[in-house]
Structure formats: structure tokens, C-alpha cells
Structure 1
């Protein structure tokens, strides 16, 4: 057991990823993900036959091919960058840091077990979602509670709810944009694309949309530029209305409005993954260029950039103060 005088550890939590870019692995991952009532709240007797009879058999092979197109030598981008964050954060904080995924491996439970094995009696759960949503942050809380139901003794927990307006987070985003502009010049517009959720969830009290608006407005204020900054929502699924404006539909009309050079950033994602590297960097680029755009640049997620790790350290230090 390592020296850990305050007996405090950090559980970095993210969504998760298939273990391989295969239909079988993707089916297992999507099955767990789309079974979560926080994500899809349809009546189970309606949803489950649809999920297992149509969605998983049809989508899994297609999604597996998309994963294959972005898979890195070390594995899934989400896992590769998450592990780099974990290692960098642990080195900087000098306290135990483990990974736990809401779906797939390593699980939230295994992350807690690894921390307790390292002597941690107090655990800060750090969801890597800047903007809170019932579909992401709350899903971590539910899954963690459920996974520990049979534990005879529990560590003490603290939970980071969100950090969408943290000064260090906005600064890290702004630095990534400014570094890109310094190298490539300024665009006609900067689009902030956030993962969408059903509009109904927001209407029923999920603060995600307002958090996204907060991040966008603070980033625009910090950049203090004549480049217009626009907010959109990506990755919608199913037929019901999701938060708008939709990223893909927006990019299809921007060239007709005189926007020929476009930069796009994804502030809801703490690490690059399928939704950023394939959907935004590839699919949406094609849509914009086919509509008449001249130049399209995807600005990567913060990943393990020094400014991002510094921000994470400050958050951990503040949330564990006095513990």
C-alpha cells in the first residue's frame, strides 16, 4: 500500500467504449448503454424488443466500422486519452487516481476497488462531463450506487456535479482555439458542437442546455474576437425532437450564408472519441464541403493537454479541501 496520509483518491469517470472495433464488442457496449433508463426512458416492454430485435443487430456492424476508422494503435481513442489523463493527473496531484466507465470496462466498481486497495477511504468522483445532464453525470451516480449495493463497508464519497463555467476550463478551451488560429488563421465562424439530448429532457428540468449556453457565452467572451461563435447540438438518435440547432443541418446551410471557412470545437467532450473524430471531423466536414464550404477545421478535445490537466488538478484540490 502506497503512502496516502489523507487516504483520498480520485475516480475519473467517463462514458466508456467498446473493447474492440467489432460488431460483437459494439453490440455488448451499446446494449448496456441503451438499456440505461437515464439515457432512454421509454417503457421497457416497448423499448427492449425494439433495441434487441432491430437497433442492436442493425446498428452494431455499422458502428463497428466507424470505430475501426478511428481506432488507435493503443486502442479506442476515448480509452487511450482517458488513460493519459489518469496518468498525468496522478503524477501532478501525487494521490491515487483510477478510471471507471459507466458502461464497459474498467467499471466504476473496479475503479473504486482499485482505490480502496491503494488505501483510499475517501473518494472524489470526477465525471468528465463539463455540463451536467441526467444522461451522463446522473447516470454515473446511479451506476455507482447500484454497483456498490452489496458492499458491507463503503468509502466516503464526494461528487463533482459540473464545471461548465469554471474559469480554468474556459481558459483551456480558449487556449486551444487561439493556438489553432495562430497556426491556421481565423475562420469565418467558430461552431461549438455539443452532444444533444432529447428536448423533452430539458423541458423536464435537465439543465444541460443552459450549461452549454453558459460555456459558449463564456468562451466567446474570453476569446473576445470578431469571429462569430455559434452553438449547435450533434449525435441525435431516434425520431423525437432533440436540442436544436442541429450541427449537421446547420453546417449544410452555413456556406449559403457566406461562411466558407469554419472551425468547430466540441466542448462537451473531455476526450476525443467516435463522436468527435468520426462524426464531427469526418461526416460533418463532408456535409459542409459538399454544401459549398471551402475550409473546415476540427479543433481537437482538450484530452491530456497541460492546461486541461491543470484545470482538473485545481478542481480536485478544491473539492477535496478540508477532507
Structure 2
């Protein structure tokens, strides 16, 4: 019997600093998030970050926390429930970090008689700190606790035409009847070394002005290429004029080089250059969360207004939008009988 395990990032159980500290500890100790030797990672995370950051992050979570709980969790549960109504096989939900573990999600499916699992990371683009850490952990859990099941993973879907159409239509609908000078595509940032580590050719990714546009096998696992490709495909779909849109990367941590340009500095630059009305969309996320609701919608807007900007429109993630639910349900229904296409 087949079943689906949707997997998103995760969230603290509450915005209390103790719960935030526990969550951040698990998240930041992941070797695919902070990819440095264990001794150095432990010293950095437990010796420095967890002594300062939990209070700051807890304050940010409190700003965006809903009565029902964490926005990311609530939205993901809504998505799961709506998909379940459109498919005939069990659909479970798990988080990579936090109390809604992948192990619990797999167990839930096994208890329903599932022995073929479609692992569905809710990330359009591949990254070692998102998709890869989910698939690696799921396989480790399968070997240790669920040896009688098989797991197939959904590949990155950043360039699938039906996804681009849904994303483009969402952006278009939220900008209808609005005068926008600039549309910014903001993606979650990663250290540059993650791009090089994910390069299966070991030579293509130079993070220069051309490697992401030059065809290569490396693109299958290149987060930067896939982000830029989403921007390009959506801009083409919406017939956006050159210079009226751009790409940036947010949420950097530490002092190592991260993907450029940075979102906060881009917002500031656009405002100083005279952009009065801008919109921002975050296509690395399918569910609104701390990074979209607080970092972008609140902090980003504040930066824009400080430099003279006027209207700052934050376009919601796809969340549990009907078209997105239909899209994922269609993919799942196809897999129920065959397999999802990878191109």
C-alpha cells in the first residue's frame, strides 16, 4: 500500500525561549545546516549561539505566532488535510526539526498498512540544508526502524511547468490593480560552500556570473541555479520587463560568504534608488513562516520605509491555496498509479 509523507522545516512548540532554544539546538547542530566539524559546530552552537539567539528568536516568533500555534505548522496541517481530501492514499505530515518528527510520520503511515512511501519535501529547490537532510534522515530511519518499507523521494520541482504556472498566477493575483515599480524574488540564503559541496561535477559551480546559466549536470543539485531559474521562468510567464524585477537571498548566519545579493541590502538599495512601490515574493518557501512573516513582512518593510519607500507588498507563499493543493494532489494521484516525472 502506498502513502505520502509531506515534510516541512519545523517550528518550536511555542515562542517561549526554552522551546525556541531546544528547536534551534536541533536545527543548528544538523551537519548539513552548519557543515563544520562536530567539535567546532558544538562550540559554536552550544557555546555561543544558544546563549544569545533564543531570546531574540523567541521575540520574533511572538510577533507572528497565531492563536492556533506556529503559522508554518498550522498552514502545513491545512495543506495536508486538503490534499487528503483529494487523494485515496494516506497522507501524513512531519517536520525535519521539532516534535513532529519524521519517525512519527513514518510510523503513522506504517500503522495504516503503508509499505511504499513517497517522501515529499516541501521545498521547490534542492539544498543540502533542506531536501538532502530530509532524505538522508528518512533513509537512516527506514534502515533502523522500518526495514520493510520502501521510500521514494520527490525531486526538486522548481522548473516543472505546472508549478511555475501556479506560482505565477498567485503572484499575478496578489498584484492585480496595484502599481509596482519593482518585484523582488527573495530566496533563503545558504553559504557559498554549500553550492560547491552539492556540485556533482566537482568543477562546474564557481558562483560567478555565468555558471548558473551554462548547462550542466550540476544544476540538478544546485540551489543557486534553481532559484535563479524560478525567477527567470516566472518573469517570462508574467512578461516582466528587464530591470523591474531581481533576485536576492535572505537569512544569512555567521561571517562566511553567503549567496549574494542580500535581501535586506537589496531592499535598502532599491529604496535609495527611488523605488517607491515594491513587492516581494519568497519562492523558496511554500508555507509562510518566521522568515516570511517577520523577516520580510516586518523587518523588510521597515527598511524600505526608512529609505523613503512607500508601498511594500508582501506576496503570501502558496500555503494551502486551492491551485497549489490541486497541483500537489494531481502529482500524488499520478504517483499512485505510476511515478512522478522528474523533468
TM-score interval (norm. to shorter): over 0.9
Question: TM-score if structure 2 supplies the norm length?
Answer: 0.89
1:251 match? 267
May I ask how many residue pairs the two structures share in their alignment? 316
Contact 2:139 2:151 (C-alpha < 8 Å) held by counterparts = no
Determine which of 257, 260, 263 is the counterpart of 1:241. 257
Matched, 1:79 2:73: yes
Paired residue secondary structure (1:48):
helix
CA distance in 2, matches of 1:153, 1:42: 31
Paired residue secondary structure (1:264):
strand
1:214 match? 229
1:316 match? 332
- Report the CA distance between 1:47 and its aligned residue: 1.9
1:196 match? 189
Provide structure 1 residue ranges, at least 5 long, that are not aligned to the other structure.
1-6
Cα pair distance change 1:48/1:166, threshold 3 Å? same
Matched, 1:39 2:33: yes
* Cα deviation 1:17-62 (Å, max 9, x = unaligned): 1000011101111101111111111122122122112101200011
CA distance in 1, matches of 2:228, 2:173: 23
CA distance in 1, matches of 2:44, 2:152: 37
1:4 match? none
Tell me the C-alpha RMSD between the 2 structures.
Answer: 1.4
* Cα deviation 1:202-241 (Å, max 9, x = unaligned): 1332500000011110100111134722111000010011
Cα pair distance change 1:284/1:40, threshold 3 Å? same
Matched, 1:99 2:114: no
Cα pair distance change 1:309/1:152, threshold 3 Å? closer
Cα pair distance change 1:47/1:153, threshold 3 Å? closer
- Report the CA distance between 1:152 and its aligned residue: 5.8
Determine which of 300, 316, 327 is the counterpart of 1:300. 316
- Report the CA distance between 1:247 and its aligned residue: 0.3
* Cα deviation 1:175-217 (Å, max 9, x = unaligned): 11111122x4130011110000001111332500000011110
CA distance in 1, matches of 2:102, 2:81: 17
CA distance in 2, matches of 1:99, 1:152: 17
Contact 1:124 1:320 (C-alpha < 8 Å) held by counterparts = no
Relative to structure 2, which stretch is displaced further, 242-251 or 256-265? Answer: 256-265
Paired residue secondary structure (2:32):
coil
Provide structure 2 residue ranges, at least 5 long, that are not aligned to the other structure.
200-220
Question: TM-score if structure 1 supplies the norm length?
Answer: 0.94
Contact 1:188 1:259 (C-alpha < 8 Å) held by counterparts = yes
* Cα deviation 1:116-149 (Å, max 9, x = unaligned): 1112111100000000001100000122122333
Contact 1:191 1:230 (C-alpha < 8 Å) held by counterparts = yes
- Report the CA distance between 1:156 and its aligned residue: 1.6
- Report the CA distance between 1:8 and its aligned residue: 1.0
Matched, 1:170 2:164: yes
Contact 1:160 1:319 (C-alpha < 8 Å) held by counterparts = no
CA distance in 2, matches of 1:33, 1:266: 21
Paired residue secondary structure (1:92):
coil
Contact 2:142 2:149 (C-alpha < 8 Å) held by counterparts = no
